[in-house]
Structure 1
Amino acid sequence: MRSSYAVADQWLRLRKDVLQAPDGQALPPCPVIEHPDWVDVIALTADLNIVLVDQYRHSVTSVRTEFPAGTVDDGEEPLAAIQRELLEETGYASDDWHLLGSAPVYPALQTNRIYSFLALNARPVGGQALDEGEVIDAYELPLAEFIEKVVAGAIELPALQLAGLWWLSARLTGRGVPGISIPFP
């Protein structure tokens, strides 16, 4: 295998691997996107409001509603990363954290995983501490209203965050997969 990099910065490394089949035949180049692992959180207040962020996303040229999220820094554990991201993006914190699930993001092309968490009894503890270039509006929405808006299409979450919402639903109701009950730890 031979590899070369077209892009290599702190956020993205785009690699092209040239592979060889076991019989020696050269295979078409395989692109690989190296990302740090990602984290996101469904943060619920004691009143069952969900903490959301609205953020401009240039790739789709629109402001998007999302769960607080970010990347795992080198040497950082996913839980520490999402606790940091929740505080930085929203000014909220929680002492009651649960891992909802983790999975490869896009194993056909990407190297990273996403870790989705649930934070209960989230509460404001300070102001935002945004990174340079970030413009994020953080706010609460009643969870029932949020779910209604997602179902109606008024809020369109990123696909990976929909998976986190499904994981939460499956754990809380045991109805995520017919015939399987998953106890919430």
Structure 2
Amino acid sequence: MERDLTWKTLSSTYLLKDTWATIRKDACMLPNGKIIDPYYVYEFPDWVTAFALTKDGKVILEKQYRHALGRTDIETPGGCIDATDASPEAAIQRELLEETGYQFTHFQKLGVTSANPSTNNNIMHLFLAIGGEKVAAQNFDPGEDLEVFLADIAEVKQMIRANKIIQSMHITCIILALEQLGELYF
């Protein structure tokens, strides 16, 4: 019989609730009776990202400045699931159209991942989007400014090898998509 490792939350207090920062302080009891107080949790909405392929097989990537690291990096398109999104798939369809101007004929859910399950309460939904066609101009959210570019699959693999893509959840999405496409075996 497996031991239940679930912690019991004794109390929760919000320290900050703002648009992009919600932090709470929990007091928790471990299964062995030990009390952890404080334990800080960062609350975020769930996120979505996609390995997005155009009709002619090009990968849609983005260059975006990330202030916390103070650098511009290459990423896969995606963003937050909004309260108005019916599902994670609806959210990635919306995000792809807003950020890139592309619509897609097919979506496949690849799985989920977590940026840091010890402190963050959300997950990232990973998708493979196929059949992209440019149908609109970009429509950025306030505070969003990014550059879209296309790459071959071989170039994306090289970007990962050269550490030019460092966002771990995006790398996870790329690896799972490449495996699904028969471009990577593990």
Q: In the superposition, relative to structure 1, how do residues 140 and 172 fare at CA in structure 2: closer, same or farther (>3 Å)? A: closer
**Of the candidates 11, 19, 22, which is equivalent to residue 28 of structure 2?**
19
Shift of 1:81: 0.6
1:53-99, CA deviations, whole angstroms, 9 ceiling, x for partnerless residues? Answer: 11111001111111001001125210011111111111111021111
Give me the identity figure in percent: 34
1:11-34, CA deviations, whole angstroms, 9 ceiling, x for partnerless residues? Answer: 231111012456866433111111
Q: What RMSD in Å do the two structures reach over aligned CA positions?
A: 1.9
Please say if residues 11 and 36 of structure 1, whose CA atoms lie closer than 8 Å, have aligned partners that are also in contact: no
**Of the candidates 93, 99, 104, which is equivalent to residue 89 of structure 1?**
99
**Of the candidates 44, 47, 69, which is equivalent to residue 53 of structure 2?**
44
TM-score, L = length of structure 1: 0.86
Unmatched 5+ stretches in structure 2: 1-9
TM-score, L = length of structure 2: 0.86
1:121-164, CA deviations, whole angstroms, 9 ceiling, x for partnerless residues? Answer: 111101000011211111211222222222233x2230111111
Correspondence for 2:145:
135
Shift of 1:35: 0.6
Please say if residues 113 and 169 of structure 2, whose CA atoms lie closer than 8 Å, have aligned partners that are also in contact: no
CA distance in 2, matches of 1:22, 1:44: 46
State whether structure 2 residue 140 is matched by structure 1 residue 116: no
CA distance in 1, matches of 2:105, 2:89: 12
Number of equivalenced pairs:
176
State whether structure 2 residue 27 is matched by structure 1 residue 53: no
Other structure's SS at 1:28 match: strand
Q: In the superposition, relative to structure 1, how do residues 142 and 24 fare at CA in structure 2: closer, same or farther (>3 Å)? A: closer
Please say if residues 98 and 140 of structure 2, whose CA atoms lie closer than 8 Å, have aligned partners that are also in contact: yes
Q: In the superposition, relative to structure 1, how do residues 139 and 21 fare at CA in structure 2: closer, same or farther (>3 Å)? A: closer
